[in-house]
Chains A and B, each alone.
Chain A
Amino acid sequence: MHELTTTRMNPQIDPTLHIWGWEIPVYLFLGGLVAGIMIISGYFIFKERYKHSYFSCFWLPHISLLLLSAGMFALFLDLEHKLYVWRLYTAFKISSPMSWGSWILILVYPTLLATTLTRIPPAFQNRIKVFDKISTFINQHPTAVKNIGVLSMIVGAILGMYTGVLLSALGARPLWSSAVLWVLFLTSGLSAAAAFVHMITDDVYERELLAKADNGFLIFELFVFAQFIIGLLSSTQMHQNAAHLLLNGPYAAVFWVFVVGMGIIIPLIIQLLAVNHKVKHTPIAPIMVIVGGLILRFVIVSAGQYSHWASAGL
Chain B
Amino acid sequence: MNAPFFKFGLFGDEASLIVAFIIGIGFGFFLERAGFGSGRKLAAQFYFTDMTVFKVMFTAIVTAMLGLFWLSVLGVVDLSLVYVSQTYLAPQIVGGLILGVGFVIGGYCPGTSCVSAATGRYDAMIYILGIIAGVFVFGEAYPLLKDFYSSGAMGKVTLPELFGVSYGLVVFLVVLMAVGGFVGAEWVEKKLAAKVKGVQQ
Contact = CB atoms under 8 A, between A and B. Distances in A.
Contacts of A257: 17-18, 21
B195 to A, nearest CB: 37
A143 interface: no
Interface string A248-291: 11101100110001000000000000000000000000000000
Interface string B1-41: 00000000000101101100100000000000000000000
B21 A250 contact: no
B87 to A, nearest CB: 32
B21 A261 contact: yes
B128 to A, nearest CB: 17
Interface residues of A, number: 8
A250 B14 contact: yes
A182 to B, nearest CB: 28
Interface string A226-259: 0000000000000000000000111011001100
A250 B12 CA distance: 10
B21 A252 contact: no
B52 to A, nearest CB: 24
Nearest to A260: B18
| Residue of A248, A249, A250, A253 contacting most chain B CB atoms (<10 Å) | A253
A248 B15 CA distance: 7
Contacts of A256: 18
Nearest to A251: B14
B11 to A, nearest CB: 8
Interface in A120-175: none
Contacts of B21: 257, 261
Contacts of B15: 248, 252-253
B17 A248 contact: no
A2 B18 CA distance: 36
A253 B12 contact: no
A257 B20 CA distance: 10
A249 B18 contact: no
A249 B15 CA distance: 9
B9 to A, nearest CB: 13
| Residue of B15, B18, B21 contacting most chain A CB atoms (<10 Å) | B18
A306 B12 CA distance: 20
A197 to B, nearest CB: 24
A240 B184 CA distance: 61
A249 B17 contact: no
A157 B25 CA distance: 37
A148 to B, nearest CB: 42
Nearest to B22: A261
Interface in A31-67: none
B98 to A, nearest CB: 33
A59 to B, nearest CB: 28
A252 B11 CA distance: 12
A249 B18 CA distance: 12
A250 B15 CA distance: 10
Contacts of B18: 252-253, 256-257, 261
B18 to A, nearest CB: 5
Nearest to A257: B21
B165 to A, nearest CB: 42
A116 to B, nearest CB: 36
A308 to B, nearest CB: 20
Contacts of B12: 248
A257 B17 CA distance: 8
A14 to B, nearest CB: 25
A258 B15 CA distance: 13
15 contacts: A248-B12, A248-B14, A248-B15, A249-B14, A252-B15, A252-B18, A253-B14, A253-B15, A253-B17, A253-B18, A256-B18, A257-B18, A257-B21, A261-B18, A261-B21
Interface of B: 12, 14-15, 17-18, 21
The 4 A-B pairs of least Cβ separation, nearest first, read A253-B17, A252-B14, A257-B21, A253-B14
Given A248-B15, A252-B18, A253-B17, 4 more contacts: A250-B14, A252-B15, A253-B15, A261-B21
